[in-house]
């Protein structure tokens, strides 16, 4: 058997192995895990989403503000961008 034939067979086998090996990952990515979270609103109106996960000893916090340039009034634009730079300086 020539070198080129062996190389083609090896390449074909690698493509098939990669395709077969990727199937479980594609299936797993299609179904995200169900998360058991709690939502509540504090007296000041802040919405809080809380999820406990004791699999690792870490704490993670995200803060999202529902404000920005989309909420600015005509003639008073640019403040969201200014405050962004002031907050993360």
Name the token pair of 32.
């995200």
Cα 88 to Cα 82: distance, rounded to the nearest angstrom: 10
72 counts as catalytic: no
Q: Which of 52, 84, 88, 89 is catalytic?
A: 84
CA 63 → CA 13, 46, 48, 49, distances in Å?
Answer: 48, 10, 9, 10
> Annotated active-site positions, please?
84
């Amino acid at each position: 058997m020539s070198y080129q034939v062996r190389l083609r067979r090896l390449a074909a086998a690698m493509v098939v192995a990669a395709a077969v090996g990727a199937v479980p990952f594609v299936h797993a990515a299609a179904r995200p895990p169900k998360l058991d979270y709690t939502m509540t609103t504090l007296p000041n109106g802040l919405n809080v989403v809380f999820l406990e996960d004791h699999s690792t000893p870490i704490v993670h916090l995200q803060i999202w503000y529902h404000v920005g340039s989309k909420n600015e009034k005509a003639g008073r634009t640019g403040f969201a961008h200014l405050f962004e730079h002031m907050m993360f300086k």
